[in-house]
Structure 1
Amino acid sequence: MDRESMSFDVVIVGAGVAGLSAACRLMQAASEQACELSVCVLEKGAEVGAHILSGAAFDPRALEELFPDWQDRGAPLHTPATRDEVLYLRDSEQAVRFPEALIPPSMLNDGSYLISAGDLCRWLAEQAEALGVDIFPGFAAQSLIFGDSGEITGVITGDMGLDHDGNPKPSHEPGIELYGRYTLFAEGARGHLGQELIKHFDLAAGRDEQHYAIGFKELWEVPAEQHEPGLVVHTAGWPLSGRAHGGSFLYHGSDRQVMVGLIVDLAYDNPWLSPFDEFQRMKHHPDIARHLKGGTRLAFGARALTKGGLNSLPKMVFPGGLLIGCDAGTLDFARIKGLHMAMKSGMLAADTVVAALAAGDEGGSTLNDFTTRFEGSWAHEALAKHRNFGPAMHRFGMVAGGAWNFLEQKLHLPLPTLHDTTADHAQLKTADTAERIDYPRPDGVLSFDKPSSVYLSNTHHEEDQPCHLQLRDPSIPISVNLPRYAEPAQRYCPVGVYEVIEDSAGTPRFQINFQNCIHCKTCDIKDPSQNIHWVTPEGGNGPGYPNM
């Protein structure tokens, strides 16, 4: 197929904070060295920020390094965190408040801001474009380009205008080949090209299995009299007690807005568990409901988090480029913060690339200087300090794991490194050995159903296009997953993409409603048979988050 092609010094896949920070720093460093640099950023969302979702209690450390004058530039950091509450929800009615002396330092938010990550990305995109970066929203990087020596030399964007069977429609436009002397991959958690790179270059050799969680978020507008800008609330315990690890967050932002969410560790073992329904019932706890009472739900979304930490971090360097941000797994899960870590990794990647280009490299270098830079950074120091947070929770549970982390973080005891080597998808029990869970019906006031939630995510997919949720073996959902696990895709998917439908004879059939997909990647992670392969749909499709 004949394709158009474009060449740049650096191609960046993903206009999240990692990719955009890398783009900005590339242009800054080029200016410092008085050299010209061409940089492009590809974004699969219809606009920058459309697919961005984070809590977000934001640590501005990396931003202050990238743009020391960020306040004068109008960065969207308007609400500083002023007060922390950490609660243990004992059951659906009772809660215990932790005194500050017993709260691990990583859970405190002094110096952070309560922001919209989407708004931050839009602002970073403005800075990048002002510096001369080309940003192409609505173009999904679909496949890799390899050079003669096996190095990465760029990416190909997905074809537009294909029908369900992959045949060209009248509107068909072939994808574009984008070549770069270096290519940076910043797709976010479980990036599909990132997964290919990790496998192809064996980047995870010698590392623990990567681990993930699914994070839900809703944006509410609440009455002025119950709004406390800057309040940060985190909870553990109910409703996940004994079923899964995780916890909730609730942040009072600006303009009477409250951000509420639940993070559910995808290492849970009960196939009857529905993370979406756990989130919906969590909001009925009195210590959560009082913040939302009388309010209006404005937006909904969900996204996977890469949370394995240092022990699971793959090698981020490969011939021709780098993995950065959550595509690699730089999130500091002990702090439930990833934005500043992703930004720092992108900035270090930019400095490494500019140094390589200045030294006369023409691509194909393994950029090994990046490893030295990263391991000498405060980002790596944070990951090393909190390396045991997730493994302790998985191995010992909430109480004992919390005690381990308290001893390590608060008392600075030199504890040994723990490892968690079982993949999340391998944790599920069979359905007949697990406790069935009956969830209450949503009340339409605090809790809601999946269709109304998908609506609030502004998700759109052209229906006549190839399904981007590919089954490696179409028979497995019914022949394997249904009898063993009661086909858990019906429950772990937060938006009803997967259904088991029976025909008039009672014969089950697996149905994929890909139009509902909000690109959370949970299916790609949690399917016990590892049979679902998430690839990019047409560029511009998916959720359209306004300010998440």
Structure 2
Amino acid sequence: MSEERSFEGENAKMSERESMPYDVVIVGGGPAGLSAAIRLKQLADETGKEISVCILEKGSEVGAHILSGAVVDPRALDELFPDWRDFDDNPLTTPVTENHHWVLSKTKKWEFPHIAMPSFMNNKGTYTVSLGNFCRWLAGRAEAMGIEIFPGFAAAEILYNQDGSVKGVATGDMGIGRDGEKKPDYMPGMELHAKYTFFAEGVRGHLSKQLIRQFELDANSQPQVYGLGIKELWDIDPGKHVPGRVIHTQGWPLDDANGGGFLYHQENGQVALGFVTWLNYSNPWLSPFEEMQRWKQHPAIRETLEGGKRVSYGARAINDGGWQSVPKLAFPGGALIGCSAGFVNVPRIKGSHTAMKTGMMAAEAAFEAVQAERAHDELTSYEQAYEDSWVYKELRKVRNTLPLVEKFGNFTGTLLAGMTMWAEHIGIRMPFTMKHHRDNESLWRADQVKKIDYPKPDGVISFDRLSSVFLSNTNHEEDQPVHLTLKDPDIPIEHNLPLYAEPAQRYCPAGVYEVVEEDGSPRFQINAQNCVHCKTCDIKDPTQNINWVVPEGGGGPNYPNM
């Protein structure tokens, strides 16, 4: 374990804050964090034991920052609540009834036959749903069980014991001005001490990233790689709405990049649609936002949207590394669960069920440790449970899918990926595991590639970024320290601009980054109030100069039904 912290300085800061003790503190109120908390309380009820649990959620409410397609496999929910289908407030009401996979050219589509896919790629038994609303439902169940949930409180700092184990977390101070000085409404953060702390922050978690580095959790795994998912919610013509219809696309408009689109017919006459661009793309002129707007203009997609109205917008990075990129999960005093570690099944385009299951497995390990009066040690039984679980087996089968497509392209790579998935499906284990390369290292120089000229938005099907951000209900207190920090403020203009035409202007889906003219010279401008917390900048910046840290709790998007 590397030494990067001063305990003396930390302890001095700790003395200024009040603290609250718990058995388990969970950072993040998504599927993994909520499932972990619920499972802990279930175990307490089953054994007649006591356990204290709390969840910190940086969004203004549970679900405010949750964004996913989503088609949910209920496998983990079946384990968490076996009788959930009998609940009056059953959250999964729209079963998938049609499953389509389209390969697109600029004007045409070709339907990929499902008979050519392994059975685990079928969406039979799954549901299309707002994942944010699903998390709100889980939160209601958790609170009814006595679990304390604190929305609007961002975990900003990891606390350590003298021996280096994790002691808990501290929430961010409130009422700090942009100049770093305390404002009249200043309120210091709160410390939450725990025997075990679970980090369920989602993709590229601010604290999880520190823990992976601190405890060298990725020493024996491949680098994590990512996609950027951009999503819109539309009210469409009732005559075009087919509840449960699920469509995935690949091909156009991406040329020398990879990714694909989705269009899900959900409840209330709405469709959720979105476009994922893998962040290993090489052309710095590429804009994932503009690719999504182009994709909507394809005749097969536009046909569904015409006559409808866009009602919401958002974006979020996605873990694409799979089995070989999962880091070590446990460390002294805590564990990574859900997308903080990365359990997305990329070809199935699903990760909520695996996130929930990992939270449940960590909960079982922590409950056993707390009842044995252990604290701040390493939950090795969680690691073992993962390796024995269906999550591990599911991810291992598809471990080569993404790298094959990346290496050989959409057509050949897809064929090879399909062959390996079929082989793994029938029990022929591939004797190799392909490697990943970090997304920030993939860009070519701007003068070596063709500049992409994107069409102007028509305001009917395609839109600009600022009007899109408006629909995300994003809000940050403007007089606070900028949460998009630069390790070296000179790099954007002196390095990124001449080499890559400063790609942050294009990879950010919220218009946060601009290069503006000031006194005849370029200046890098950060519009932090626009940030939708997608984490793309933290991932794709070529020199890893941008470090995303949490803003004041409650800031960011407020997604309805996303």
Report the equivalent of 1:347. 360
Q: For residues 411 and 39 of structure 1, what CA distance do their matches in structure 2 show?
A: 43
Structure 2: runs of 5+ lacking an equivalent: 1-12
* Corresponding position: 1:176 with 2:190: yes
Report the equivalent of 1:375. 387
Q: CA deviation at 1:360?
A: 2.1
Residues 387, 417 of structure 1: 8 Å contact kept: no
Q: For residues 495 and 519 of structure 2, what CA distance do their matches in structure 1 show?
A: 22
Which range moves more in the overlay, 41-50 or 287-296? 287-296
Residues 391, 418 of structure 1: 8 Å contact kept: no
Counterpart secondary structure, 1:75 = coil
Q: CA deviation at 1:165?
A: 1.4
Counterpart secondary structure, 1:344 = helix
Q: For residues 377 and 478 of structure 2, what CA distance do their matches in structure 1 show?
A: 42
Report the equivalent of 1:384. 396
Report the equivalent of 1:223. 237
Report the equivalent of 2:265. 252
* Corresponding position: 1:404 with 2:416: yes
Report the equivalent of 2:209. 195
**Of 471, 477, 487, which residue of structure 1 is paired with 2:486?**
471
After superposition, what is the alpha-carbon deviation per residue over 1:11-55, rounded to whole angstroms, capped at 9, x for unaligned? 000000000000000000111121111100000000000000000
After superposition, what is the alpha-carbon deviation per residue over 1:490-511, rounded to whole angstroms, capped at 9, x for unaligned? 0000011000001242x00000
After superposition, what is the alpha-carbon deviation per residue over 1:454-513, rounded to whole angstroms, capped at 9, x for unaligned? 0000000011000000000000000000000000000000011000001242x0000000
Task: Name the aligned partner's letter for residue 395 of structure 2.
Answer: L
Report the equivalent of 2:219. 205
Counterpart secondary structure, 1:229 = coil
Report the equivalent of 1:366. 378
Q: How many residues align?
A: 544
* Corresponding position: 1:509 with 2:553: no
Report the equivalent of 2:10. none
Counterpart secondary structure, 2:302 = helix
* Corresponding position: 1:334 with 2:347: yes
Report the equivalent of 2:369. 356
Residues 302, 520 of structure 1: 8 Å contact kept: yes
Q: CA deviation at 1:415?
A: 2.6
* Corresponding position: 1:436 with 2:455: no
Q: CA deviation at 1:358?
A: 1.7
Q: CA deviation at 1:72?
A: 2.7
**Of 64, 71, 80, which residue of structure 2 is paired with 1:50?**
64
Q: For residues 465 and 414 of structure 1, what CA distance do their matches in structure 2 show?
A: 53
Runs of 4+ in 1 over 6 A off after TM superposition: none
Q: CA deviation at 1:104?
A: 4.6
Q: CA deviation at 1:426?
A: 0.0
* Corresponding position: 1:102 with 2:116: yes
Report the equivalent of 1:269. 282
After superposition, what is the alpha-carbon deviation per residue over 1:292-330, rounded to whole angstroms, capped at 9, x for unaligned? 111110100000001101111100100001000000001
Q: For residues 418 and 248 of structure 1, what CA distance do their matches in structure 2 show?
A: 27
Q: For residues 400 and 186 of structure 2, what CA distance do their matches in structure 1 show?
A: 50
Task: Name the aligned partner's letter for residue 528 of structure 1.
Answer: P
After superposition, what is the alpha-carbon deviation per residue over 1:382-438, rounded to whole angstroms, capped at 9, x for unaligned? 011111111111122112221122112234443332322320000000000011000
Q: For residues 350 and 304 of structure 2, what CA distance do their matches in structure 1 show?
A: 23
Q: CA deviation at 1:106?
A: 4.4
Q: For residues 108 and 284 of structure 1, what CA distance do their matches in structure 2 show?
A: 27
Task: Name the aligned partner's letter for residue 513 of structure 1.
Answer: N
* Corresponding position: 1:500 with 2:523: no
Q: For residues 473 and 324 of structure 1, what CA distance do their matches in structure 2 show?
A: 32
Q: For residues 447 and 504 of structure 2, what CA distance do their matches in structure 1 show?
A: 16
1:315-334 matched pairs, under 5 angstroms: 315-334=328-347
Q: For residues 453 and 338 of structure 2, what CA distance do their matches in structure 1 show?
A: 38
Counterpart secondary structure, 2:489 = coil
Q: For residues 332 and 318 of structure 1, what CA distance do their matches in structure 2 show?
A: 24
Task: Name the aligned partner's letter for residue 545 of structure 1.
Answer: Y
Q: For residues 223 and 273 of structure 1, what CA distance do their matches in structure 2 show?
A: 32
Which range moves more in the overlay, 102-111 or 57-66? 102-111
Report the equivalent of 1:526. 540
Q: For residues 423 and 118 of structure 1, what CA distance do their matches in structure 2 show?
A: 29
Q: For residues 411 and 267 of structure 1, what CA distance do their matches in structure 2 show?
A: 27
Q: For residues 280 and 107 of structure 1, what CA distance do their matches in structure 2 show?
A: 27
Query: Identity across aligned pairs (percent)?
Result: 54
Residues 225, 436 of structure 2: 8 Å contact kept: no
Counterpart secondary structure, 1:65 = helix
Residues 75, 120 of structure 1: 8 Å contact kept: no
1:12-161 matched pairs, under 5 angstroms: 12-73=26-87, 74-90=89-105, 92-161=106-175
* CA-atom RMSD in angstroms: 1.0
TM-score where L is the length of structure 1: 0.98
Q: For residues 334 and 39 of structure 1, what CA distance do their matches in structure 2 show?
A: 35
**Of 292, 295, 307, which residue of structure 2 is paired with 1:282?**
295
Q: For residues 264 and 28 of structure 1, what CA distance do their matches in structure 2 show?
A: 39
**Of 533, 540, 545, which residue of structure 1 is paired with 2:554?**
540
Q: For residues 257 and 417 of structure 1, what CA distance do their matches in structure 2 show?
A: 43
Counterpart secondary structure, 2:409 = helix
Report the equivalent of 2:3. none
Residues 232, 312 of structure 2: 8 Å contact kept: yes
Report the equivalent of 2:468. 453
Q: For residues 417 and 429 of structure 2, what CA distance do their matches in structure 1 show?
A: 11
Q: For residues 146 and 127 of structure 1, what CA distance do their matches in structure 2 show?
A: 31
Which range moves more in the overlay, 286-295 or 151-160? 286-295
